[in-house]
Amino acid sequence: MSCPQCREGFILPGEPEGEMVKVGATDAYLHRASEPTSSRAVVLLTDIFGLPLKNSKILADKISTRLGCDVWVPDLFNGRPPLDIYDLEGIIPEKPGQKITFIARLKFLWLALRRGLGFYRSRRAVVDPRTESFVRKLREEKKYGKIGAVGYCFGGSLGLRLANKDVFDSLVICHPGKTPVELVKQIKIPTSWACAEDDMGFKTDQRHAAEATLAERKGKPDFTEYEFKDYKGTVHGFAARPRLEDPDAKAGFEGALEQTVAWFERTLS
């Protein structure tokens, strides 16, 4: 199951400008580069709300426009994401330091029971091979020179699990869910991490353990480039579902987007 804060968020303004296409057996949203190029592309790995939440499509549009490359958003959940954006409305704190109330915990427990089948359908044994197959098919058909991935929440953890499988050339991880140190040790590609100040999915001790694990590889044959950036006043989900009327959340969202673009400019060139 994804971390609880993945289920609360806010919808970005604007409307998607891309199109739905199919790659192999997987449906995907595509924002094409204004000028066709095969030198690089980006795959956006969504949060638990999947393609029905337009935020991922709008983010894909922004990244595609800034980088001048195709950006793909595969349907990780085969048309049935485990949660809807409003499932946890009013349950999860919106600012660092806020506590989850007892009533909110009961509501979450009830939601988990109601949505259990959806989480089972979206387990890693199903989603990981589906995503890997999509990207490999994309390479085969489109002949991209390099493919980067940016993952948000559920998608951040998914990207981490694929970071040792020669699927992507570079990865941006935004406020991921479960992040075992064992997986961090296996990373084979450059990674950039956008971290919230208060994150129930990627707690402070986990964040520091991940950075320390990568730092231990400096000067060794298995070293990979990395960076960590922390955004003050933010909570889990800020890079994908920001509360834009909050100055800290807005600054974090914009900062994470800039971080993503800058990372891919450097590592996918």
Tell me: the pLDDT tens digits for 185-223? 999 999 999 999 999 889 999 999 999 999 999 999 999
- Does residue 85 carry a pLDDT above 90? no
Percent of the chain with pLDDT over 90: 78
3 — pLDDT class (breaks 50, 70, 90): low
The enclosing domain of 208 has a CATH number of 3.40.50.1820
Band (pLDDT 50/70/90 cuts) for residue 161 is very high
- Give CA–CA dist 55/14, Å, rounded: 9
Average pLDDT, the chain: 92
Query: What 3-state DSSP class applies to 177?
Result: coil
Q: How many Cβ atoms sit within 10 Å of the Cβ of residue 246?
A: 18
Task: Tally DSSP H helices, then E strands, for the chain.
Answer: 8, 8
Give ∠ CA 140-146-149 in degrees, rounded to 5: 100
Total domains present in the chain = 1
pLDDT for 105: 75
User: Which residues form the domain of 154?
Assistant: 4-268
Q: How confident is the model at residue 90 (pLDDT cuts 50, 70, 90)?
A: low
SS3 string of 87-152?
A: CCCCCCCCCCCCCCCHHHHHHHHHHHHHCHHHHHHCCHHHHHHHHHHHHHHHHHHHCCCEEEEEEE
Q: What is the pLDDT of residue 8?
A: 44
Nearest to 44, CA basis, from 151, 141, 191 = 151
In this model, does residue 155 exceed pLDDT 50? yes
pLDDT at residue 88, as a whole number = 64
- pLDDT at position 143 over 80: yes
Beta bridge partners of 192: 172, 227
pLDDT 10s digits, 34-83: 998 899 999 999 999 999 999 999 999 999 999 999 999 999 999 999 98
Of 38, 36, 71, 75, which is closest to residue 53 (Cα–Cα)?
Answer: 75
